[in-house]
Amino acid sequence: MSVADILNGIAYAVVGGLIYGLYFSLIGLGLNLIFGVMRIVNLAHGDFLMLGAFAAFFAFQLGGFSPLVSVLFVFVLFALLTFPLYYLLVPRLLKARDPEMLSIILFFGFSQVVEALATIAFGTSERSIPGRALAVGPMSILGQSFPKTWVISAGVSLAAVLFIYLYLYHTRLGYLTRAVMVHREEAVSTGIDVHRISAIAFGIGLALAAVAGVFAPFMLTIVTPAMGVDVTISSFAVIVIGSLGNPLGTVLGGVLYGISYMFMQTFFSSWANLLPYLVLIAVLLLRPSGLLGRQVRRA
């Protein structure tokens, strides 16, 4: 490789990683919101992304709806469907002695059920939405060429981050949510309806996963019922790197994840999956509370 090739590769990895990483920030955002509010580990997070992807796929196949239109009804649909799901699963879970550990087992089982049902309903064949449904061709950013679909997906991710920021910091509901995130028991004692706040956060968190799913055919390329597990693992890496329980730290985690992944794809492609998890291990060893340093995990 010449010096020019190396410099070009670095530039591509940084810019591409930023764009790709913003999408992973969106994937992790909802997961971190749920963990931050409820301290539960949602191992079915990737499966909700999968369901969102299938919703977008069928909306396009059957109704010709653009993913940009699907995003809105997928968000509303999943928020409405998962709001009552909270009341079904979580309150009993939170009464347990170790709800964090129990939630791992519960949501792992839930993930398997969702995947199995999706396989029965949709079959095992790969599905995708053609790129032209969103945009055609590449776009030049800082001298590097990227698919327009990537840029649009990153744009939606940024919009989602902005939505969460405005929700958490500029709405009454958001203040209450942050109060619950800081100290749940104290929030109860001050009269906050903790379950209602948590249910709303749960619904928003899973709806954000489904929104990420709408763009999965463009960022992750193919959609199958089995895709959820890998996505859940990646999203955990993102939120741990950023900061567990800090939804806005997810942006940093996603961007770092994306850039490290792109670097490895550029220079050591056979080991591309390795670096993001090495970064995760390094963060856990050197800064266990995540890069933004907020102590949200109890011992």
* 215 binds another protein, rule: CB under 8 A: no
66 binds another protein (CB under 8 A): no
Helix (H, G, I), strand (E, B) or coil at 138: strand
**How deeply is 139 buried, as exposed, middle or buried, from its count of CB atoms within 10 A (0-12, 13-18, 19+)?**
middle
Stretch that binds another protein, among 46-54, 68-76, 181-189, 218-226 (CB under 8 A): 218-226
Return the C-alpha torsion angle 214, 88, 205, 256, nearest 10.
Answer: -100
Which one among 75, 107, 146, 215 touches another protein, defined by CB under 8 A? 146
Candidate segments 33-41, 97-105, 131-139, 189-197, binder of another protein by CB under 8 A? 131-139
Which of 80, 84, 190, 230 binds another protein (CB under 8 A)? It is 230
Binding to another protein, residues 19-38 (CB under 8 A): 20
Strands 138-141 and 144-147, sheet pairing: antiparallel
Among 89, 115, 213, 235, binds another protein (CB under 8 A): 115
Cα separation, 290 vs 283, whole angstroms: 6
Q: Which of 80, 84, 109, 119 binds another protein (CB under 8 A)?
A: 119
Of 3-11, 84-92, 249-257, 282-290, the segment contacting another protein by CB under 8 A is: 3-11
Q: Determine contact, residues 77/247, Cβ cutoff 8 Å.
A: no
**CA separation for the pair 250, 236 (Å, rounded):** 10
Q: Does 276 bind another protein (CB under 8 A)?
A: no
Nearest in space to 12 (alpha carbons), one of 139, 138, 146: 146
Among the candidate windows 32-40, 138-146, 170-178, 238-246, which touches another protein by CB under 8 A? 138-146
Residue found under tokens 């301290």 = 39
Residue 137 interacting with another protein (CB under 8 A): yes
Q: Which amino acid is at 114?
A: V
Nearer to another protein, 36 or 225 (CB): 225
- With CB under 8 A as the contact rule, the residue among 73, 100, 110, 138 that binds another protein is 138
Report, in Å, the least distance between residue 123 CB and another protein. 3
- Cα–Cα distances (Å) from 35 to 8, 227, 253, 261, in that order, read 39, 22, 15, 25
CA angle 147, 227, 152 (to 5 degrees): 25
Q: Which residues of the shown chain bind another protein in the complex (CB under 8 A)?
A: 5, 8-9, 12-13, 16, 20, 115-116, 119, 122-128, 130-131, 136-138, 145-150, 218-222, 224-226, 230, 262, 265-266, 269-273
